Structures are given as structure tokens and as C-alpha cells.
A = this chain, B = another copy of it.
Amino acid sequence: MALTRYESGLEKLTEIDGDAGQRVIDSLQSVCPDLARYTIEFPFGDIYQRPGLDLKSREIGTVAALTALGNCAPQLAVHINGALNVGCTAEEVIEVILQMAVYAGFPAALNGMFVAKEVFLSRGLIQDPAAE
């Protein structure tokens, strides 16, 4: 039996970012559970399901866009994790954020890079020099 958009979306979101799906559901539970549902159904149940662009490239595009937009730090952190989870290297993530200096300016690239630094620290990919 075919999965619903919600079911396949939650599966895809879990593939991309482990427990991020459950966290978004929990965080919206008391205020607007339907926004959690739509977030799972449309982005992950419709768009990320599509053939024609591999998941690694989708995450490259998302990290680029969220860095350039510059006001979505929480979502950028989710998708930096997602990019790493679907096979991007830390170097590839760094490169796409760095490249945004060209298209959205240095502040956007710097702020995006600081989000990446937090994610990399949390995954033990880099060391916090201040902690040494």
C-alpha cells in the first residue's frame, strides 16, 4: 500500500536529519501542529522525493539558499547536518557557504560559516580551540 505524503515525508526527513522531524513536530505541537504536518508533507513528502536531482545536490542548494537569505540560522543548522548525513563532506559544505560571499556578501557567508562551525563542533568534526 502506498505511503501517504506525510509518511514518505517523515521517512525522508528522518533519512536527512535523524530526529529533526520529531523535533519540529514537538516544537509546534502546542501552537500549530499543522505547520509541522505541512513541513513534512510539502518539502519532504513532495519535493525531496522527486527524482531528477540527487539528495546531495539538493542539500548543496538548500545550504546555499539558507546562507544567502541570512535569516534562517536554525534551518541552516538542520540542513548542514542534513548535507553531512546524505554524503556531503564537511569541505563541500564549507565551500558552498564560502561561495555565498560572492552572491550575498561577506556578512552572509561569515554568519553561515559560524553556524557550520557550531554544527561541526557538535559532531566532533573540528575542535574548539578555546577548549584546548
Contacts and interface: CB of A to CB of B under 8 A. Distances in A.
B98 A106 contact: no
Given A65-B103, A104-B69, A42 B42 contact: yes
A56 B103 CA distance: 17
B96 A43 contact: no
Contacts of A106: 38-39, 42-43, 75, 102-103
6 contacts: A32-B94, A35-B98, A53-B92, A71-B107, A74-B111, A75-B110
B99 A47 contact: yes
A111 B31 CA distance: 12
A96 B53 contact: yes
Interface residues of A, number: 68
The count of identical subunits is 6
A110 B117 CA distance: 23
A95 B53 CA distance: 6
A129 B29 contact: yes
Interface centre among A64, A69, A74, A102 (most CB of B within 10 A): A102
